[in-house]
Amino acid sequence: MGASAARKLWDRVTVFDGSRTWPEAMALVTGGERIERLVRVAELGPDERASCELMAGGGVITPGLVDCHTHLVFAGQRAAEFEQRLKGVSYAAIAAAGGGILSTVRATRAASEDELVEQTRPRLEALIADGVTTVEIKSGYGLSQNDELKMLRAARRLGAELPVRVLTTFLGAHALPPEFVGRPDAYIDEICKRMLPAVAEAGLADAVDVFCEHIAFTPAQCERVFEAATRLGLPVKIHAEQLSNQHGSALAARFGALSADHLEWLDEAGVAAMAEAGMVATLLPGAFLTLKETRLPPIQALRDAGVPMAVASDGNPGSSPMFQLTLMLNLACTLFGLTPTEALQGITRNAARALGLQGQAGELAEGRQADFCLWRIENPVELAYAVQSGRLRQRVVAGRITHGAPESGVSP
Amino acid sequence: MGASAARKLWDRVTVFDGSRTWPEAMALVTGGERIERLVRVAELGPDERASCELMAGGGVITPGLVDCHTHLVFAGQRAAEFEQRLKGVSYAAIAAAGGGILSTVRATRAASEDELVEQTRPRLEALIADGVTTVEIKSGYGLSQNDELKMLRAARRLGAELPVRVLTTFLGAHALPPEFVGRPDAYIDEICKRMLPAVAEAGLADAVDVFCEHIAFTPAQCERVFEAATRLGLPVKIHAEQLSNQHGSALAARFGALSADHLEWLDEAGVAAMAEAGMVATLLPGAFLTLKETRLPPIQALRDAGVPMAVASDGNPGSSPMFQLTLMLNLACTLFGLTPTEALQGITRNAARALGLQGQAGELAEGRQADFCLWRIENPVELAYAVQSGRLRQRVVAGRITHGAPESGVSP
**Each residue of A104-146: pLDDT tens digit?**
999 999 999 999 999 999 999 999 999 999 999 999 999 999 9
Residues 6 or more apart whose Cβ sits within 8 Å of residue A391? A375, A376, A377, A382, A383, B122
The per-residue pLDDT for range A234-276, each reduced to its tens digit, is 999 999 999 999 999 999 999 999 999 999 999 999 999 999 9
State whether residue B74 is helix, strand or coil.
Answer: coil
**Cα distances (angstroms) measured from residue B50 to each of A252, B31, B63:** 65, 14, 25
- Residue A13's contacts (CB-CB under 8 Å, 6 or more residues apart) are A25, A26, A27, A28, A56, A57, A58, A59, A60, A61, A374
Residue B372: strand, helix, or coil = strand
- Phi/psi of residue A141, nearest 5 degrees: -115, 5
Is pLDDT above 90 for B365? yes
Question: Does the pLDDT at position A41 exceed 50?
Answer: yes
Question: Of the candidates A80, A322, A376, which has its C-beta nearest B387's C-beta?
Answer: A322
Q: Would you place residue A410 in the very low, low, confident or very high pLDDT band (cuts 50, 70, 90)?
A: low
Are the CB atoms for B382 and B21 separated by under 8 Å? no
**How far is the alpha carbon of B373 from chain A, nearest alpha carbon, in Å?**
18
Cβ of B322 and A386 within 8 Å? Answer: yes
Judged by DSSP in three states, B77 sits in coil
Largest CA distance in chain B: 72
Q: What is the C-alpha separation between B74 and B107, in angstroms, rounded?
A: 8
Return the H-helix or E-strand segment holding B361: none
Pairing mode, strands B280-283 and B309-311: parallel
- Check CB contact of B82 with chain A, cutoff 8 Å: yes
At A2 the pLDDT is 42
Q: What proportion of chain B, given as a percentage, has pLDDT over 90?
A: 92
**Contact between B333 and A86 using a beta-carbon 8 Å cutoff:** yes
pLDDT over 70 at A411, yes or no = no
Identify the band that residue A1 occupies on the pLDDT scale cut at 50, 70 and 90: very low
The pLDDT assigned to B3 comes to 46
Average pLDDT score over residue span B209-217: 95
* Averaged pLDDT, B237-241: 98
The average pLDDT across B47-55 equals 94
- pLDDT(A4) > 70: no
10 Å CB burial of residue A8 (0-12, 13-18, 19+) is buried
Mean pLDDT, rounded, for B193-203: 98
Minimum-distance CB partner of A129 among B327, B384, B390: B390
The beta-carbon neighbor of A83 closest among B77, B337, B340 is B340
B-chain CB neighbours of A122 within 8 Å are 376, 388, 390-391
A296 contacts chain B (CB < 8 A): no
Beta strand segments in A48-122, E: 53-57, 60-63, 65-67
Distances (CA, A) of B240 to A313, B137, B231: 34, 18, 22
User: A259 to chain B, minimum CA–CA distance in Å?
Assistant: 25
Percent of chain A with pLDDT over 70: 97
**Nearest CA distance, A74 vs chain B (angstrom):** 14
Residue B10 bridge partners (DSSP) = B28, B56
Question: Chain A neighbours among B 146-175 (CB < 8 Å)?
Answer: none
Residue A98's pLDDT is 81
| Predicted local confidence at residue A271, as pLDDT | 98
What mean pLDDT comes out for the span A59-67? 98
Range A320-333 average pLDDT: 98
Helix B145-161 / helix B101-110 crossing angle, nearest 10 deg:
80
CA distance A73 to chain B (A): 15
Buried b (16+ CB within 10 A) or exposed e, B374-404: bbbbebbbbbbbbbbbbbbbbbbbbbbbbbb
Taking every pair of Cα atoms in chain A, the longest distance, rounded to a whole number of angstroms, is: 72
Q: Inform me whether the pLDDT recorded for B2 exceeds 50.
A: no
Q: Does A337 touch chain B (CB under 8 A)?
A: yes
Distance of CA A9 to the CA centre of its chain: 29
Beta-bridge partner residues of B135: B67, B166
Residue of B nearest to A80 (CA): B381
Mean pLDDT of A378-388: 97
Q: Are B382 and A77 a contacting pair at CB < 8 A?
A: yes
Interchain contact B214–A (C-beta under 8 A): no
Q: How close, in Å, is residue A338 to chain B by CA atoms?
A: 7
The whole-number pLDDT of residue A408 equals 55
Does the predicted interface ipTM exceed a cut of 0.90?
Answer: yes
The per-residue pLDDT for range A147-165, each reduced to its tens digit, is 999 999 999 999 999 999 9
Asked if residues A272 and A298 have their Cβ atoms less than 8 Å apart, the reply is no
Rounded to the nearest 5°, which phi and psi values hold at A130? -95, 0
Chosen from A388, A393, A403 to mutate, greatest number of chain B CBs within 10 A: A388
Please answer yes or no on whether A324 and B387 come within 8 Å at the CB atom. yes
Is 80 exceeded by the pLDDT of residue B348? Answer: yes
Contact check, Cβ <8 Å, A385/B87: no
Task: Give CA angle at B158 (B174, B63), nearest 5°.
Answer: 90
| Average pLDDT over every residue of B164-170 | 98
Q: Closest approach of chain A CAs to the CA of B130, in angstroms? A: 9
pLDDT attached to residue A91: 74
Q: Taking the complete model, does pTM exceed 0.80, yes or no?
A: yes
Cβ–Cβ below 8 Å for A388 and B126: yes
For residue A2, the 8-state DSSP code is -
pLDDT at A88: 86
3 state SS of B172? strand
A80 vs B130: CB contact, 8 Å cut-off?
Answer: no
User: For chain A, what is the mean pLDDT?
Assistant: 95
Angle, vertex CA A199, rays to CA A197 and CA A202, nearest 5: 105
